[in-house]
Structure 1
Amino acid sequence: MAKRSSITRKVIVIISVTLILGIGLITYLFTRNIIKTINDSTVKNLEVQTDVLFNAIENMMMPGDAALASAFFSDIAEDNPGSEILLFRADGRPAFTDTSTIEKVNAIIGTERFDKNTPRVFSDIESLSADEIAYIMQPFPHTFKESYSSDNRTYIRVLTPLINLPKCTLCHGSDHTVRGIVEINEDITDSIMQQRDNLVFAGVSFVVIVVLLGGILTFFMRKSVLDPVREIGRACTAVTAGDFDVRIDLSQQDEIGQLAETVNTMVKGLYERFALSKFVSRSTISAIASASEEGEKQFVTMLFSDVRSFTNYSSSREPATVVSVLNKLLSLQTDIIHKHGGDIDKYVGDEVVATFIGEGAELRAARAATEIVEVLSARQGELDNLMVGLGIHYGEVIMGRVGSSSRADYTVIGDTVNLASRLCNSAKPGMILISSAFYEKIKASVDVTGPYELRVKGKEDVQKVYGLKKVLQDAGKKEEEA
C-alpha cells in the first residue's frame, strides 16, 4: 500500500512554492530594475560630466589660456575627492607635461601666443595603452568604459575622445580628427553599496512577505478547508466503526459546510438502514445488494421453532411481560441460529422461521436446534417455564421477492416450507421433529428416536419422522468420511 501523505503538508508546499515563485519573480524584477536605474543614472551623470568638461576645456582652450585649464583640473581634483579627471594627447601621452603642444600650436599660428611656462598638471600620470588608443580611434572615435576596484573602492573609468572641431583647427591644424582624450574616474562605491542595500532589503522583504502570506494563507486553508475536512474524515471513520451517533458541527455556509450537512444526512440514513437491517433477513439484504429480485429454486434446510402454549400464556400476563419474555426467547434462538450460520427468514408472532444454506447446512441446523433446546431448558426460570417445539426438513424451495411494488419480502416458499412448519406444529415442548429426508443427510452424525409415523395436513401419505436427541461429538469426522 502506498504511503499516504498529509493534505496539510501538500497545501503548505503548494502555497510556499507559489509564493516563492510569484513574489520571488516580482522581487527579482523590481530589484533588477532598481539596480539598472542606479547604473544608468550613474553612467548618465558621467556622460553629463564629460559633456560639461568638454565644453569647459574647449572654452578654456579657445583663448589659449593653458594656465587657466591647468588650474581648472586642479580645482576639480581638490573639490571632488571621489572623482579624477585627466587629459591626454591624441597619442595617449598625458597633457600639460611638456611644451611640445604649445610649440606646435605657436608654429601653426605663426606667433608666440601661448606661454611655455604653463604649470605641469599631469606630470606623474602614465600614458594610455596602445589597446585603449586603438579602441578609441577605431575606425571612428569611440568612448571607452570600464569598471575596476582599488583600495576596496569601485570606480568607473571613461575615456572619451576630444574631437578636433573646425573652430579648433586654427590652432591644432586640420590633419587629425582627435586632438585629445579626456579620462574621468568616478568613485561608484556608494552606488554599489546602495545596490547591495537594495538587494538585502529586497531579500529580507521577500522572506518576510512569503512567511507572512504563507502563514495567513495556511491559517485560512486550515480553518476553512483542512480542519473541516479532517472533521468529516473523523466522522466517516467513526461511522465505519459502527458509531452512528457522530455528527459534524460546522457553521460554514460554503461547499465544505454543504458537504458536512450531506455527510450528516448520509449518517442518519445509514443508521436508519442499519436499524432496519435488524428486521430484515440476511438473504433479503444479500438480494438487495445483488439487485436480485427474480425467484430461483434452491435446496435448503428449513428450521421452524414455535413457543408451546404461548396463546394461553399471553392472555394471562401483562403485555409488557409478554413482550419482554417473547423478545428474550426470540433473541436467544436468533443468536444460536446465527452462531451456526443460519439466517432468520422471518418472525411470525412467537414462531421463528430460519434457513440453512451451503456446505454442512444440515449438520449446522441440527446443532442449532439441539442447542436451542439445551439453552432454553437451562433458563426456564427467566422464561416463565416456556419452551419451544422445533421442526426441521430438507428439500427444494423457491427463493425470491414476494409482495407488491411498495412492500415485499425476500423469502422462501414451497412444500418444503410447509412440511417443516407442520413438523414444528406437531412437536411437543422441548422436542425436535425431523423429516426422513433430513435424517438421511445426517443419520451418521446424530442420535434420534423413532421413526414415527405422522399424518400432516396437505399430505396424503403418512410421513416418517424422527425425534432428534443430540448431535454426536465426532459428527464432523463422520460427515467427512461419509
Structure 2
Amino acid sequence: MTTPSSARFPLKVRLALHGGTLLVGAFTYLYARLVCTYICALPPHVLLHTVLALSAVHILLREGVFHLAPEPDGRRTQARQAYLLSVATWVVTGFVAFGLHLLWYPTFPFFSHVKLGVGYWLLGGGLVAQVEYLLFEQLQSSTASPAAQLRERLGHRLMEGYVLFTTIPVVVLLLTLARMVGDLHMLGAPQLEVVLDQSMREAMLLAAAITVAALVAALAYGRSLRRDSERLLEAVRRVGGGDLHPHAATSRPDELGLVALGINDMADGLRLRERIREAFGRFVSPQVANEFIEKFARPGRATELGGQRRDVVLLFSDLRDFTPLSESLAPEDLIGVLNGYFGEMVAAIQKHGGMVDKFIGDAVLAVFGLTGGTGNPAESAVAAAREMQQRLEGYNARLAERGLCLRAGIGIHAGEVVAGYLGSAERLEFTVIGHAVNVAARIESHAREPRPSLLFSAEVARRLTGTLEVQEVESVSLKGVAEPMSLFTVPRASGDIQAA
C-alpha cells in the first residue's frame, strides 16, 4: 500500500521542489536563447511555451511518481528513495525535451537538441537534486532503527556530492568543446569568431549556473550539518544538567542519527538506573541503595561480601500482644494495619536521620550514625523514638473506630557493629550484626508495663549527657549479657529534643 505524496511530502516542500523545476526551466530557456544559433532563430514565445510545457511535464511526472511509488522496502531510507525518484524524473524530463525537439526540428544539429536536455540532466538531476535530498532528509524520522541508519553514511554523502560537483563541470566543458569543434567543421574558418564568441558565452553561463547551484547545495548541506550538530550538543548538555528526556533528534539517516540514538539510549539507561535506585530504596535504605549502585552496579565490579566495623546507635521496636491481634484479623486486614503502622514508624525514623535496617515480622530495627550526617546519633535515636510514640498515639486514634489499639516497646543501645553485605553472591542483604544488636533487642523486651515503653542503655544515657534529662529505671539482667545493665528512659514531661 502506498502513502499519498501529500502525506509524505507537505505542500511547503512540494512547492519548493516545483520552484526548483521552474528555475531549471528558466536556465534552460536562457541557455538555449544565448548559445544556440538555431534555437535563437525560433520566436521567443515558441521556446517559452516549450520550456513551460517541459516544466509542467516534470511537475506532473514527479507528483505521479511520488504518489504511486511504494514505501521503501528496507534496503534504503525514505529520503534516499525519494532522492533517486527525483533524479529519475529529471532524467526522464531531459529525454522528453531532447526527443520532442528532435521530432519538431529534425533539421537542427544534434547538439541543439542536447542543449535543451542539459539543464534537466546536469543542473536538475545532478545538482538541484542534492538540495532536494536535504529537504527529504528533514522529513525523515530520526528515530529509525540503527540497522536502517547505517545504510546511509556521512562519508558516502560527502563523496557523492564531491563527485557530482566536480564531474558535472568537466562533462559540461567537454560538451561545450565538442559542440564548438562540430560548429567549426560545419561553418568553416570565416565563422571562427562567431563560434568562439558563442562558446565563451556558453561556458560563462554554464559556469555561473553550476557555481550558484553548487553554492546553494553546499550551504544547505552545511546548515543541515550545523543544525543537527547543535541539536546533539544541546541534548548532551541537557543530559549533563540532569534532564533525562533530551529527545535528541537529527534530520540525518547516517552516523549523526546514530549519535542521536545513542544519546537517547544513554538517557533511557540513566532513567532506568534512577527507577532502579528508587525501587531498590523501597526495599533497603535509600542510602544503602545509592551506595550499592555506585560501588557495584558498574562493569567489572564484583559484589563484595563482608562489612566494616562501625560505632552506631541501634533502635529496636516491637508490637505487644501481636499474636492475639493476628488471630483476630483477616490476613488482608492485618497487612493493612501493619503497613499503616510501619509507615508512621519509618517516617519518624527517617525524619531524624535513621536508617531502617529491616522489618522482622511486626518489629523494626533502625540504625543511627551509619550513613553519615551531623549531630549526635544518640539524640537522633531518642528523638525518633519519642516521635514514634507520638505517631502511634495518632495512629491508634484512627484505629479506635475499628476497635483496635496497638502498643509497642522501644529499646535503644549504642556500640560497635559490623555493617555490610551478608549472604551469597546470588542473594544479598545489607544489615548490621553484632552483640550491640542483640542488646538493643533485649532492652526492648523489657520495655513493657510496669516499665516505660521507651528504654535505653547506660551507654546511650552517657552520650545524652548535657542534652536531655534522663531518668534511671532499674538495673536488670539481660540474656547473653554477663553483668546487670542499668536501663534509662526520658521522662514524659521532658521537652522534645531537636536532632540534627
- Correspondences of 1:151-300 after superposition (within 5 Å): 156=193, 188-203=196-211, 206=214, 271=275, 274-282=278-286, 284-285=288-289, 286-287=291-292, 289-290=294-295, 291-300=303-312
Match of 1:342 among 354, 359, 381: 354
The structure-2 alpha-carbon separation of the partners of 1:294 and 1:391, relative to structure 1 and needing over 3 Å to count, comes to same
Match of 1:413 in 2: 433
Q: Retained in 1: the 8 A contact 2:180–2:195?
A: no
Which amino acid is the alignment partner of residue 356 of structure 2? I
- List runs of 5+ in structure 1 lacking aligned partners: 1-7, 51-79, 84-154, 157-185, 247-251
Match of 1:436 in 2: 458
Instruction: Tell me how far 1:466 sits from its aligned partner.
Output: 0.6
SS of residue matched to 1:303: strand
The structure-2 alpha-carbon separation of the partners of 1:458 and 1:304, relative to structure 1 and needing over 3 Å to count, comes to same
Instruction: Tell me how far 1:338 sits from its aligned partner.
Output: 1.4
The structure-2 alpha-carbon separation of the partners of 1:361 and 1:191, relative to structure 1 and needing over 3 Å to count, comes to same
The structure-2 alpha-carbon separation of the partners of 1:410 and 1:294, relative to structure 1 and needing over 3 Å to count, comes to same
Which amino acid is the alignment partner of residue 437 of structure 1? E
Q: Retained in 1: the 8 A contact 2:309–2:416?
A: yes
Which amino acid is the alignment partner of residue 370 of structure 1? R
- List runs of 5+ in structure 2 lacking aligned partners: 1-141, 143-151, 248-252, 296-302
For residues 397 and 341 of structure 1, the distance between their equivalents in structure 2, rounded to whole angstroms, comes to 18
Match of 2:377 in 1: 361
Match of 1:310 in 2: 322
For residues 318 and 266 of structure 2, the distance between their equivalents in structure 1, rounded to whole angstroms, comes to 45
Q: Retained in 1: the 8 A contact 2:341–2:395?
A: no
Instruction: Report the number of matched residues.
Output: 316
1:392 equivalent in alignment to 2:412: yes
For residues 495 and 487 of structure 2, the distance between their equivalents in structure 1, rounded to whole angstroms, comes to 19
Which amino acid is the alignment partner of residue 314 of structure 1? S
Q: Retained in 2: the 8 A contact 1:356–1:362?
A: yes
- Correspondences of 1:23-102 after superposition (within 5 Å): 23-37=164-178, 45=185, 49=188, 83=191
Instruction: Tell me how far 1:347 sits from its aligned partner.
Output: 0.4
The structure-2 alpha-carbon separation of the partners of 1:19 and 1:392, relative to structure 1 and needing over 3 Å to count, comes to same
Match of 1:457 in 2: 479
1:424 equivalent in alignment to 2:444: yes
Instruction: Tell me how far 1:439 sits from its aligned partner.
Output: 0.6
For residues 242 and 12 of structure 1, the distance between their equivalents in structure 2, rounded to whole angstroms, comes to 28
For residues 368 and 451 of structure 1, the distance between their equivalents in structure 2, rounded to whole angstroms, comes to 20
Q: Retained in 1: the 8 A contact 2:358–2:365?
A: yes
The structure-2 alpha-carbon separation of the partners of 1:340 and 1:32, relative to structure 1 and needing over 3 Å to count, comes to farther
1:374 equivalent in alignment to 2:390: yes
CA deviation map 1:161-184 (0-9, x unaligned): xxxxxxxxxxxxxxxxxxxxxxxx
For residues 362 and 244 of structure 2, the distance between their equivalents in structure 1, rounded to whole angstroms, comes to 30
For residues 189 and 365 of structure 1, the distance between their equivalents in structure 2, rounded to whole angstroms, comes to 102
For residues 273 and 363 of structure 2, the distance between their equivalents in structure 1, rounded to whole angstroms, comes to 30
For residues 305 and 387 of structure 1, the distance between their equivalents in structure 2, rounded to whole angstroms, comes to 10
Over alpha carbons, which structure has the higher Rg?
1
Which amino acid is the alignment partner of residue 203 of structure 2? Q
- Correspondences of 1:323-342 after superposition (within 5 Å): 323-342=335-354
For residues 476 and 159 of structure 2, the distance between their equivalents in structure 1, rounded to whole angstroms, comes to 87
For residues 454 and 284 of structure 2, the distance between their equivalents in structure 1, rounded to whole angstroms, comes to 26
Q: Retained in 1: the 8 A contact 2:315–2:440?
A: yes
Q: Retained in 1: the 8 A contact 2:180–2:196?
A: no
Q: Retained in 2: the 8 A contact 1:305–1:353?
A: yes
Match of 1:57 in 2: none
Instruction: Tell me how far 1:330 sits from its aligned partner.
Output: 0.7
| Structure with a larger share of its residues in helix | 2
So what's the TM-score if we normalise by structure 2? 0.51
For residues 380 and 164 of structure 2, the distance between their equivalents in structure 1, rounded to whole angstroms, comes to 73
For residues 289 and 261 of structure 1, the distance between their equivalents in structure 2, rounded to whole angstroms, comes to 20
**Range that drifts further, 331-340 or 344-353:** 331-340
The structure-2 alpha-carbon separation of the partners of 1:242 and 1:410, relative to structure 1 and needing over 3 Å to count, comes to farther
For residues 37 and 423 of structure 1, the distance between their equivalents in structure 2, rounded to whole angstroms, comes to 109
So what's the TM-score if we normalise by structure 1? 0.53
The structure-2 alpha-carbon separation of the partners of 1:466 and 1:19, relative to structure 1 and needing over 3 Å to count, comes to same
For residues 412 and 370 of structure 1, the distance between their equivalents in structure 2, rounded to whole angstroms, comes to 23
Q: Retained in 2: the 8 A contact 1:434–1:468?
A: no
Which amino acid is the alignment partner of residue 281 of structure 1? S
1:320 equivalent in alignment to 2:320: no
CA deviation map 1:13-35 (0-9, x unaligned): 99997676443223333334344
Instruction: Tell me how far 1:454 sits from its aligned partner.
Output: 1.9
For residues 365 and 267 of structure 1, the distance between their equivalents in structure 2, rounded to whole angstroms, comes to 34
Alignment identity in percent? 22
For residues 163 and 490 of structure 2, the distance between their equivalents in structure 1, rounded to whole angstroms, comes to 84
SS of residue matched to 1:423: helix
Which amino acid is the alignment partner of residue 434 of structure 2? G
Instruction: Tell me how far 1:356 sits from its aligned partner.
Output: 0.8
SS of residue matched to 1:300: strand
Q: Retained in 2: the 8 A contact 1:27–1:206?
A: no
For the aligned residues, what is the CA RMSD? 4.9
Match of 2:363 in 1: 351
SS of residue matched to 2:490: strand
Instruction: Tell me how far 1:208 sits from its aligned partner.
Output: 8.0
SS of residue matched to 1:306: strand
Instruction: Tell me how far 1:325 sits from its aligned partner.
Output: 1.1
Match of 2:80 in 1: none
For residues 292 and 215 of structure 2, the distance between their equivalents in structure 1, rounded to whole angstroms, comes to 63
The structure-2 alpha-carbon separation of the partners of 1:336 and 1:204, relative to structure 1 and needing over 3 Å to count, comes to same
Instruction: Tell me how far 1:442 sits from its aligned partner.
Output: 1.0
For residues 475 and 277 of structure 1, the distance between their equivalents in structure 2, rounded to whole angstroms, comes to 26
Instruction: Tell me how far 1:435 sits from its aligned partner.
Output: 0.4
SS of residue matched to 2:461: helix
**Range that drifts further, 255-264 or 434-443:** 255-264
For residues 312 and 197 of structure 2, the distance between their equivalents in structure 1, rounded to whole angstroms, comes to 101
